[in-house]
Amino acid sequence: MSNRTAIKVSNLTHTVTSNTGNLTILKGINMEILESQSVAIVGASGSGKSTLLGLLAGLDINTSGDIFVYDQAFSALSEEKRAIIRGQYVGFVFQSFHLLPSLQAIENVMLPAELKGDKDARQKAEALLQKVGLSHRLTHYPNQLSGGEQQRVAIARAFASQPKILFADEPTGNLDEENGKLIIDLLFDLNQSQGTTLVMVTHDNELAKLCDRQLIMSSGQLTEKSL
Amino acid sequence: MMFIFRLMVRDFRSGDLLTLLAALVISVGTVTSIGLFIDRLQLSFEEQSANLLAADRLVRSDENIPLDWIQKADDLSLEQAQRTSFTTMMFAKDSLQLAQISAVTDSYPLRGAYLVDQTLFGQGQQWTQPPAVGDVWLSSRLASMLGVSIGDQVEIGEAEFNVSKFLVRDPGSTTSAFAISPRAVINHKDLAKTQVIIPGSRVRYSLLLAGNREALQEYGDWLAPQLVDGQRWRTPSQSSERVGNTISRAESFLLLAGTLAVVMSGIAMALASARFVKRHLMQVAILKTIGATPKFLSWAFLQQLSLLFCVGTLIGLAIGWGIQEIIASLLSGLMSTELPPPSINRLWLGVATGLVSMLAFCLPLVMRLIKISPLSVLQPSAKIEQNTAIIYGLGFAGMYALMCIYTKGFLLPSVMTLSIVGIGLIVGLIGVGAFKLGRRLTSGATSGWQIGLASLYRRLMPNLFQLLVFTLIIMLTLILIGVQSSLISDWQKQLPEDAPNHYIFNVQSNQIDAINQTSQALQIPHSDWYPMVRGRVIKINDENVDDLYPEGRNEPELVDRELNLTWSDQLGQGNTLLEGDFSAEGLSIEQRVAQEVGVSIGDTLTINIGGNIITLPITSVREVDWGTMQPNFYLILPKQALQDYPANFVSSLFVDDDKAQNFYKGMSNYPTVSILNVGDILKQIQTIIGQLSQAIQLVLLCILCAGGLVLLASVRSTLEERLEEGALLRVLGAKSSLVRQSIFVEFGALGFFSGVISALGAELCLYGLQVYVFNTQANWHPSLWLFGPLIGVCVILTIGVFASRKVLNVPPMHLLRDL
């Protein structure tokens, strides 16, 4: 593990407007995640875990405070530039897989590399799908795959752009125990073999224990759980 | 670029892009086919009207045709012919007769053909060459009056002619309704040797022209400022007011039908675009999370839409062309004439439709897609930043622009757009009220019909939108059916089979009883007898006509020539009193000529009748339907004003073909009486009306098909939600019958409400269209109130149940996985 900072958050606050008025979801969060670290963010439903994940990945803009990804301040960037950074540094795995239904498994995995203009996108995608054990399912569409298989395709897609940071939102939330274990093994294998920083939202304590660090989100505030 | 193309191919494979492409093809195809077909019909009508004029355009003059007019026609490469008409005595053996002679050049007629025969009162055969030099063709009536037959000699002025044919119809004869003496035609080369035209002779010179539209237009524009008193420029539509009216009403209908096609196309594109956007929301959010920038996405969609526009428009144009060819070939068996080929340049209408559809309906919605927050992948409730007012505004503006392009005007599009907004408001009010009531009546209920009614309110906005679309389509369909049936019945009513086909003129009061006896003996019905006195309007409100219209340029018809004046105690057939008192001791004036000279009730006209000057106030204004074929007059005077002048009388009769010969023979006892046969023009009108009726019914059928497709698209747009709900109900243990019942009730209620609102909207629109666009009598349509809801329930129920059949037949697990 290197000592380089992958993500730095200082004084992060996020407020949303709802029918009942303004609601502050994140209240003055400070944290730092080093390169190649695996970090679990745990907490009750509605505590603000997913909101924090979205802000860290640059999917939304925080109300105040700063987020730095490899020293670049996300909050000061336009959506255009944030998208470029996402393409360069970030991979995602979602609870509900979010594969494009109109594309085959291999096409879903090729997408990030194609967006970067990589000419070897197909070969890389094939290799990744082989790695996740789906070389026999390349041309299947998402609705022809089981939940576990869909999540494996999603993991292959997440690693296709060789991201420096992988964000995972409840990656086993929709899977049975056996498939869940398979996915976790894959995530951590890839995390270690590629040196990827892993930031994972979960309320599975067993999964959280596998990470280097556990951060607990409660009422919009983040505390570190001592291991 | 290649990646974007690959994305497009993948999108196409999934069917989402295909839906959009199909909508574009339908839009372009419908508008193109109807546009081209209407163009062909218009060209055909122009051709047929040109046959009545014997040319595409005609300019007539009381003086010799100036040489520079001929030179200009040469410069524009227009085909030319000349006709010189005059009235003179014709001699044969011991008899003589006043005859209307036409001397025509070798190229006459430029359009249409003569009907000639070798036997007296024969039916005639088409003949496109004029008489040879030294020959004369006589109308059967003239020949029987002169007692000559084929091969006999007749004299016109100083020249002798050989009777070579009997003239049944002169193609240009209908343009001069008051040239009523029996007719004869000679070759123009023989004119000089007759020596009948001397200075002061009353002669009408006509220059006939034919050629392409642009050149004719240029010629007309060049000529117009040079025309003086006694000179007129005539177009085919002016050659017969009756044909002109019929065609212009049919054109209004076809224009309306085309405009409705445009509206339907707009709805189809908007629905398909909305579906495309809905299905791409999550995809765009996912693409954004993996690094697709807004700029890249904008560029990608722009390229996709551009390619879609090119491909869709090309296919649409090809299909549109094919459909109009099919319509034309279906009609070819029904029409007596062949339709001319469509103009290629009309295809731009299809291209414009494709472009405006993409720019107004598709692009704003798709560009809105790009604004979706990537956060949606974590929080599906994240909304798109949008300005719906701009999107709907652009949609409306696009539809309005298309309608304006299509109709080349603003009135019809404005009326249509306002109607749609009005219908939108009515749909909103009735829909919300009715759906809320349904919800209240069914709270906590579990039967199929209660679930169906409740879901109307649960999906309030999509259902309101769908109600609006259903209502618009059904309303447009009802309007078209209503207009076409009233148009056709109106035409048929105006042209009964026994419509008068002959005018009888120059009848002296002491001849009326004898002529009545002759016609009664032959059982020939005739209209009332109207006295006629010739007079000329010389002053309007104490101002001399010569001062009002110096140099005689662009004089209105009222002051341009001597008029036939009459008196009458009652309004004749085809006359409607617009204002004033018809029985007052003043002038009754026809509305159009009154407008031309700018006079109304209270103004005075001074008229010169045979040297006597009388001044009378205008006391009533009439609208005259000139198509009734009854004798009608611009000015009707009080009896006291005219009774001391010598008058001759006019009437109109219907003479059956098999009675014609006996009638003409009977009338030859009255050589001073003139008869004008307008049977040919009537037959022509009846043919045109027959063709038009067939054509508009076919166009209606096309529009109905397009409407059906739009309805299907509309049902499909909310199908996923319905399928999901139905699948969930079945998972929760609901029987198929309950789900089926709820679907029946939901679509049935939507159909019923849209049918009722459509009937209301159609009734209002039909009133407006009948009164303001088609100028026909407005009437109520009780059948709309029966057929509107009936069509609504039957069609929407059928389409809805057909489209939702998956929910009943497919295992719920499959459905939920697919959604």
**How close B383 gets to chain A, by Cα (Å)?**
12
Q: Which of A151-155, B578-582, B687-691 has the lowest mean pLDDT?
A: B687-691
Tally DSSP H helices, then E strands, for chain B.
27, 22
Q: Given pLDDT bands bounded at 50, 70 and 90, which one contains residue A72?
A: confident
Q: Is residue B672 part of a domain?
A: no
Q: Is residue B61 part of a domain?
A: no
Query: What's residue B207's pLDDT?
Result: 92
Whether residue B534 is found in the same domain as residue B618: yes
* Residues of chain B found within 8 Å of residue A100, distances taken between Cβ atoms: 283, 286
Taking each helix axis from N to C terminus, what angle separates B411-441 and B460-494, rounded to the nearest 10 degrees?
A: 130
Mean pLDDT of all residues belonging to chain B: 80
Contact B276, B12 (CB under 8 A): no
CB of A34 less than 8 A from some CB of B: no
Whether residue B305 is found in the same domain as residue B423: no
A143 vs B6, B11, B818: nearest CB: B818
Q: Given pLDDT bands bounded at 50, 70 and 90, which one contains residue B386?
A: low
Q: Is residue B622 part of a domain?
A: yes
Domain count, chain B: 4
* Residues of chain B found within 8 Å of residue A60, distances taken between Cβ atoms: 373-375
Contact A33, A197 (CB under 8 A): yes
Are A94 and B294 a contacting pair at CB < 8 A? no
Q: Given pLDDT bands bounded at 50, 70 and 90, which one contains residue B535?
A: confident
* Residues of chain A found within 8 Å of residue B379, distances taken between Cβ atoms: 50-51, 54
**CA neighbours closer than 13 Å in the CB half-sphere of residue B637:** 26
Determine the Cα angle at B750 with ends B747 and B751, to 5°. 85
Are A83 and B282 a contacting pair at CB < 8 A? no
Strands B502-507 and B674-677: antiparallel
* Residues of chain B found within 8 Å of residue A59, distances taken between Cβ atoms: 288-289, 373-375, 377-378
Q: Is residue A8 part of a domain?
A: no
Whether residue B468 is found in the same domain as residue B554: no
State how far the Cα of A99 lies from the Cα of B8, in Å rounded to an integer.
17
**How close A72 gets to chain B, by Cα (Å)?**
16
Q: Which of A5-9, A205-209, B248-252, B671-675 has the lowest mean pLDDT?
A: B248-252
Whether residue B610 is found in the same domain as residue B698: no
B10 vs A53, A79, A102: nearest CB: A102
Q: Which of A55-59, B108-112, B407-411 has the lowest mean pLDDT?
A: B407-411
Are B3 and A115 a contacting pair at CB < 8 A? yes
Whether residue B387 is found in the same domain as residue B439: no
CB of A83 less than 8 A from some CB of B: yes
A109: nearest CA in chain B? B290
Query: What's residue B82's pLDDT?
Result: 92
Closest-CA residue to B742 (of B349, B306, B442, B536): B442
Question: Which strand ranges, in their side-by-side order, compose the sheet holding A72-73?
Answer: A21-34, A5-18, A64-69, A72-73
Q: Is residue A211 classed as helix, strand or coil in its secondary structure?
A: coil
* Residues of chain B found within 8 Å of residue A169, distances taken between Cβ atoms: 378
CATH at residue A129: 3.40.50.300
Taking each helix axis from N to C terminus, what angle separates B679-717 and B16-53, rounded to the nearest 10 degrees?
A: 170
Q: Would you call B202 exposed, middle or buried from its count of C-beta atoms within 10 A (0-12, 13-18, 19+)?
A: exposed
* Residues of chain B found within 8 Å of residue A88, distances taken between Cβ atoms: 291
CB of A23 less than 8 A from some CB of B: no
Whether residue B388 is found in the same domain as residue B425: no
CB of B190 less than 8 A from some CB of A: no
**How close A114 gets to chain B, by Cα (Å)?**
7
Domain end point (choices B409, B441, B476): B409
Q: Is residue B72 part of a domain?
A: no
Q: Which of B220-224, B649-653, B667-671 has the lowest mean pLDDT?
A: B667-671
Give the tens place of pLDDT for each residue, A23-55: 888 999 999 999 989 999 998 888 888 889 889
Q: Is residue B224 part of a domain?
A: no
DSSP conformation class of B638: -
Q: Given pLDDT bands bounded at 50, 70 and 90, which one contains residue B186?
A: very high
Whether residue B258 is found in the same domain as residue B403: yes
Task: Identify the residue with better confidence: B644 or B105.
Answer: B105
pLDDT(B177) > 70: no
* Whole-number percent of chain A with pLDDT over 90: 23
Q: Is residue A16 part of a domain?
A: no
Torsional class of A114: left (φ above 0), alpha (ψ -120 to 50), beta (otherwise): alpha
Whether residue B172 is found in the same domain as residue B279: no
List the beta strands (DSSP E) in B145-294: 153-156, 159-169, 183-187, 203-210, 232-234
Closest-CA residue to B37 (of B690, B697, B488, B774): B697
* Residues of chain A found within 8 Å of residue B275, distances taken between Cβ atoms: none
Domain count, chain A: 1
Whether residue B277 is found in the same domain as residue B136: no
Domain end point (choices B409, B436, B455): B409
Q: What is the pTM of this model?
A: 0.67
Are B293 and A84 a contacting pair at CB < 8 A? yes
Are A54 and B379 a contacting pair at CB < 8 A? yes
Q: Would you call A39 exposed, middle or buried from its count of C-beta atoms within 10 A (0-12, 13-18, 19+)?
A: buried
Q: Is residue A72 part of a domain?
A: no
- Per DSSP, the residues of B499-560 read ---EEEEEE-GGGHHHHHHHHHHTT--B---EEEEEEEEEEETTEEHHHHSGGGTT--HHHH
Whether residue B490 is found in the same domain as residue B569: no
Give the tens place of pLDDT for each residue, B337-360: 567 788 787 788 889 888 888 888
ipTM for the predicted complex comes to: 0.87
pLDDT(B243) > 70: no
Query: What's residue B178's pLDDT?
Result: 36
DSSP conformation class of A77: S
Determine the Cα angle at B681 with ends B677 and B687, to 5°. 140
pLDDT(B627) > 70: no
Q: Is residue A64 part of a domain?
A: no
Interface test with B, best of A25, A45, A49, A59 (most B CBs within 10 A): A59
* Residues of chain B found within 8 Å of residue A102, distances taken between Cβ atoms: 10-11, 13-14, 16, 283
* Whole-number percent of chain B with pLDDT over 70: 86
State how far the Cα of B616 lies from the Cα of B604, in Å rounded to an integer.
5
Interface test with B, best of A52, A102, A157, A167 (most B CBs within 10 A): A102
Q: Given pLDDT bands bounded at 50, 70 and 90, which one contains residue B124?
A: confident
Domain range for A208 is: 36-47+78-225
CB of A161 less than 8 A from some CB of B: yes
**How close B369 gets to chain A, by Cα (Å)?**
14
Tell me the longest C-alpha to C-alpha distance in chain A: 52
DSSP conformation class of B65: P
A86 vs B289, B375, B817: nearest CB: B289
Query: What's residue B667's pLDDT?
Result: 78
Query: What's residue B381's pLDDT?
Result: 62
Give the tens place of pLDDT for each residue, B134-158: 999 998 878 887 888 899 999 988 8
Are B379 and A50 a contacting pair at CB < 8 A? yes
pLDDT(B50) > 90: no
Are A112 and B290 a contacting pair at CB < 8 A? yes
State how far the Cα of B808 lies from the Cα of B727, in Å rounded to an integer.
8
Interface test with A, best of B3, B13, B289, B815 (most A CBs within 10 A): B289
CB of B408 less than 8 A from some CB of A: no
Give the tens place of pLDDT for each residue, A98-125: 888 888 899 999 988 888 888 888 999 9
Query: What's residue B738's pLDDT?
Result: 78
CB of B287 less than 8 A from some CB of A: yes
Give the tens place of pLDDT for each residue, B686-716: 666 676 667 767 777 777 777 777 777 777 7
* Whole-number percent of chain A with pLDDT over 70: 98
Q: Is residue A173 part of a domain?
A: yes
Give the tens place of pLDDT for each residue, A173-193: 877 888 888 888 888 887 888
Interface test with B, best of A26, A74, A100, A114 (most B CBs within 10 A): A100
Tally A–B CB contacts below 8 A: 85
Which residues 288-307 in chain B show a CB within 8 A of chain A? Answer: 288-296
Are B373 and A60 a contacting pair at CB < 8 A? yes
Query: What's residue B510's pLDDT?
Result: 85
Whether residue B405 is found in the same domain as residue B424: no
CB of A116 less than 8 A from some CB of B: yes
State how far the Cα of B442 lies from the Cα of B450, in Å rounded to an integer.
5
Region B127-135: mean pLDDT is 89
Q: Which of A140-149, B366-375, B543-552 has the lowest mean pLDDT?
A: B543-552
Domain range for B304 is: 1-54+254-409
CB of A117 less than 8 A from some CB of B: yes
pLDDT(B239) > 60: no
**How close B474 gets to chain A, by Cα (Å)?**
35
* Residues of chain B found within 8 Å of residue A157, distances taken between Cβ atoms: 290
State how far the Cα of B237 lies from the Cα of B256, in Å rounded to an integer.
20
Closest-CA residue to B130 (of B54, B193, B77): B54
Are A60 and B375 a contacting pair at CB < 8 A? yes
Are B291 and A107 a contacting pair at CB < 8 A? no
pLDDT(B335) > 60: no
pLDDT(B212) > 70: yes
Q: Is residue B259 part of a domain?
A: yes
Q: Which of B641-655, B734-748, B802-816 has the lowest mean pLDDT?
A: B802-816
State how far the Cα of B54 lies from the Cα of B108, in Å rounded to an integer.
8
Q: Is residue B522 part of a domain?
A: no
Region B181-186: mean pLDDT is 80
Q: Given pLDDT bands bounded at 50, 70 and 90, which one contains residue B175?
A: very low
Query: What's residue B71's pLDDT?
Result: 92
Whether residue B128 is found in the same domain as residue B274: no
* Whole-number percent of chain B with pLDDT over 90: 9
DSSP conformation class of A142: G
Are A114 and B10 a contacting pair at CB < 8 A? no
pLDDT(B678) > 80: no
